[in-house]
Amino acid sequence: MKKRMPALLLALTLALALTACGPAQPQDSAAPSADPSASPAIVADLSRSIVEFSAGLSPEDVMVTVNGEAVPADLFLYWLFANCSYFESTYTAYYGIPLTAKNAAQLLESTVSTAAHYTLLRQKAAELGCPLTDEQQAEAEESMKLEGAQLTYDQLKSLYGLSDASMAYIATIDYYYDNLLSAQPAPTEDDLNNYAYQAKHILIATIDLTTREPLDDETAAEKKALAEDLLAQLQAVEGEEQLALFDRLMNEYSEDGRDDDGNLAAPDGYTTTLGQMVPEFEQAALALRPGEISGLVKSDYGYHIILRGEVEDLSSYSDDCKTYLFGRQVDGWVDQSECVRSDALAELDPLDFYTRYTAYQQALMEQLAPESASPAPEG
């Protein structure tokens, strides 16, 4: 959610246009239930701005300041809406997890981080000499013309309650990210070796791999004893003999997924990057040199014995590694920044805001539907 916000804005607009339905039923604006989809219809007052209607704020009201730079309500609430909308389009739509007051509060915290993230990108771009190029500025201005979009620039501003300055902010923020990323040094060989790695393992599971339920204590103890025995066998030999024995034991005992014929699904192991495997596996694998075997590594799945291998084309991970390292640097900037929350933020009910914001957008889309269906006048 911290990349490609301009495209997200247009995608959200399209989704709203496709889901806009008939006029809302004339009911009172009651407080929303835990599940916004189950709330009584809210009658949106389109004579007010969406920011005022949904949050009782002026677009210029300050929500947070980041190193002294104010983040206005219109921009902050757009990001909060985007985070809530993303939650519903993924977790609610695919997993049936409703947007409740609890996870809406978590999304509010995430939005504070988002605001700090984007504000710091602009601040650091100025500090480190990575301003927008003339070409980037021209591209941003062209994107704001919304060629081929269903709504005009002014309609989109009303739909999200954004000022011209905030629209420009959203249109340019990716360029600051790209410029800062380009200015980062290429990763060293050590960086790459601590980012991408190849490993295969013998897994002796202490859970039912179908239900994810833990095995009973007696069975788990037997599994641990088996893992210890396999490790002892491996530690009794060295060199090529050890590597050959590892493969034999892995193919015979490992419970890391098998096909219908009983063959291991990943007999050559995994070539992966940071964050893809469970932390215990990742930490143990990265602590090894190629050709080394770990001790017993306990994770939620059971006991692993890991053999680290060589990544065939380590340099092919250079761009991804650079992006990862830059992401960690940005996280560090966020952690070290001075982020001050306003009283307006403390008083904001994120679930109520999101329910009213979406009701306003639906009502506005219904009003704009005939207009947006016709070609925009020239000039």
pTM of the model: 0.76
Model confidence at 261, pLDDT cuts 50, 70, 90, reads confident
State the pLDDT confidence band at 370, using cuts at 50, 70 and 90.
Answer: low
Which of the pair, 267 or 5, is modelled with greater confidence? Answer: 267
Q: What are the Cα distances from residue 246, in Å, to 88, 163, 201, 251, 292?
A: 46, 63, 9, 9, 11
**What is the C-alpha separation between 305 and 285, in angstroms, rounded?**
10
Strand pairing class (69-72; 62-66):
antiparallel
Q: Which of the two residues, 278 and 6, has the higher pLDDT score?
A: 278
Stretch 219-246: mean pLDDT = 96
3-state secondary structure the chain: CCCCHHHHHHHHHHHHHHHCCCCCCCCCCCCCCCCHHHCCCCCCCCCCCHHHHHHCCCCCCEEEEECCEEEEHHHHHHHHHHHHHHHHHHHHHHHCCCCCHHHHHHHHHHHHHHHHHHHHHHHHHHHCCCCCCHHHHHHHHHHCCCCCCCCCHHHHHHHHCCCHHHHHHHHHHHHHHHHHHHCCCCCCHHHHHCCEEEEEEEEEECECCCCCCECCHHHHHHHHHHHHHHHHHHHCCCHHHHHHHHHHHHHHHCCCCECCCCCECCCCCEEEECCCCCHHHHHHHHCCCCCCECCCEECCCEEEEEEEECCCCHHHHHHHHHHHHHHHHHHHHHHHCCEEECHHHHHCCHHHHHHHHHHHHHHHHHHHHHHHHCCCCCC
Reported confidence tier of residue 8, pLDDT bands at 50, 70, 90: low
Give pLDDT, residue 115: 94
Residue 18 above 80 pLDDT?
no
pLDDT for 183 beyond 80 = yes
Residues 203, 195 contacting (CB under 8 angstroms): no
Tokens 């193919």 appear where? 251
Predicted pLDDT at 9: 52
Domain boundaries 190-316, corresponding CATH code:
3.10.50.40
pLDDT band at 25 (very low <50, low <70, confident <90, very high): very low
The mean of the pLDDT values for the chain is 87
pLDDT at 145 over 90: no
pLDDT at 146: 78
How many C-beta atoms lie closer than 10 Å to residue 370's C-beta?
8
pLDDT score at 262: 86
Model confidence band, residue 246 (pLDDT cutoffs 50, 70, 90):
very high
Give tens-digit pLDDT for 279-289. Answer: 999 999 999 99
- Across 33-59, average pLDDT: 79
- Report the pLDDT averaged over residues 33-52: 72
Q: In the chain, where does the domain assigned CATH 3.10.50.40 lie?
A: 190-316
What whole-number distance in Å separates Cα of residue 253 and Cα of residue 266? Answer: 13
Other Cβ atoms closer than 10 A to 37? 12
- Would you say residue 80 has pLDDT above 90? yes
Tell me the backbone φ, ψ of residue 346, rounded to 5 degrees: -60, -30
Per cent of the chain over pLDDT 90 is 74
Average pLDDT over residues 82-105: 92
Over residues 295-303, mean pLDDT: 96
